[in-house]
Structure 1
């Protein structure tokens, strides 16, 4: 059961946060403000919330739940999405709330949340920035997605990955921007998307899909290593 507590320097002076849990995350939500930072490293795709059916964006880091193919020694070597940075932390009515039972909090190792003088540590400042980015970015991203949907730019993407062990994997429930639909837009619609900054995001997302091949290659090489 989660143990929710309002973040407090005196109560949580010894609490330490770790990134070790990244190795079990195969997908993380991102906001539009992160697209350009994430696109050089991850496939960015859209999916739907299982409960609401609303679209949201995320980065794919593995092809199977519970396995991140991009971590090295348990850590991501490149851009770390805000959704990972804030693991174990949430925004409450009165401030930042922590879930003491979340695996982001380490019994040993990790980084302290507060300096010896009680001020926020570098680790906590990263969390605060991530929470602020998500809080502002989620409604902004929802608006971008609604504009994409209004122009019928999102389409399902069929992802079937074949491996040397003969067992293909199919990734379902994922969507991408259709460049064909984008290029067929009337000039006025394209100009509107450009002025909103949506065109840049659409091309960044569509171009990032190529990283799915990287994930397949990494998994295939690990299968070969395991079988050697």
Structure 2
């Protein structure tokens, strides 16, 4: 992005940012370290980068853009992706860059990024931690995907949902873990996946599909209340 600027506590001493929303969903990229937390709250699926055709891992937080269907008891999000926390910020080698045109910075209100001494405030430290975990988790996530592909464990999934208002929602270009192929693996392959920690994650991803029907029911309930 041409508009990115390197973050500087002098040049941007007065910069403020708004709290992030639920992320630029409804399919938000995640890394390995987020799988178990995400699987307890929403479906985890694979998709492909449009430019490269390479697989990446994501959490499905809604069924349509602008929609958030992850259950949030007590007004606390059951799962928040690191991508949501770092909205508007990017890594630039050893530095942090930000997009001044991003909605988080557009209004000029919100929380300051730096305190009076030029040190990062808590909201900025949250961004720093999110970026750090995303960078640190990239290699492990690629290793998981490579292992699953090597054993033919990633397969396409068709998601077609019908709702009480007559609308049909179809989600294309998504993939999941093939339990049939997982069951057919020989003992040596299963042991390799187990030792690497990939087996547990594969089952977590497959098990997270149960949330699709729960999200559909949640969406129907909303239609009934607000329709």
| Shared fold, TM over 0.5 | yes
Structure-2 residue corresponding to 1:160: 160
Aligned partner of 2:178 in structure 1 is 178
> SS of the residue aligned with 1:21?
coil
Residue matched to 1:110: 110
Whole-angstrom CA distance in 1 between matches of 2:19 and 2:25: 11
Is it true that 1:190 corresponds to 2:152 in the alignment?
A: no
Q: Is the 8 A contact 1:2 1:101 kept in 2?
A: no
Which segments of 5 or more consecutive residues in structure 1 lack a partner in the other structure? none
Gap change, CA 1:68 and 1:24, over 3 Å in 2: farther
Greater Cα shift, 178-187 or 111-120: 111-120
Which structure 2 residue ranges, 5 or more long, are not aligned?
A: none
Q: Partner residue of 1:8?
A: 8
User: 1:184 offset after TM fit, Å?
Assistant: 1.3
Q: What RMSD in Å do the two structures reach over aligned CA positions?
A: 2.0
| Mapping 1:91-170, distance limit 5 Å | 91-105=91-105, 107-170=107-170
Q: Over residues 123-182 of structure 1, what are the superposed CA-to-partner deviations in whole Å (9 max), with x where a residue is unaligned?
A: 111111111111121222111101100000011111111110122111111111111211
Provide closer, same or farther for how the CA distance between residues 114 and 125 of structure 1 changes in structure 2, counting only shifts above 3 A.
same
Which piece of structure 1 moves more, 99-108 or 79-88?
99-108
Is 1:215 aligned with 2:219? no
Alpha-carbon distance in 2 for matches of 1:60, 1:30: 10
Q: What is the deviation of 1:108? A: 5.0
**Structure 1 CA distance for aligned equivalents of residues 221 and 20 of structure 2:** 23
Change (3 A) 1:130 1:21: same
Question: 1:103 and 1:11 mapped to 2: Cα distance?
Answer: 20
| Contact 2:47 2:175 survives alignment (8 Å) | yes
Asked if the contact 2:41–2:70 (Cα under 8 Å) also holds between the matched residues in 1, the reply is no
In structure 1, the residue matched to 2:42 is 42
TM-score relative to the length of structure 1:
0.91
Return the alpha-carbon distance in structure 1 between the equivalents of residues 206 and 134 of structure 2: 22
Question: Secondary structure in 1 aligned to 2:21?
Answer: helix
Measured against aligned partners, the alpha-carbon deviations of 1:103-126 in whole angstroms (never above 9, x if no partner) come to: 122525432211222111111111
Query: Does the CA contact (< 8 Å) of 1:4 and 1:97 recur in 2?
Result: yes
> How much has 1:58 moved relative to structure 2?
0.4
Q: Secondary structure at the match of 1:78?
A: coil
- Residues 50/212 of structure 1: CA separation in 2 closer, same or farther (3 Å cut): same
| Cα shift at 1:97 | 0.5
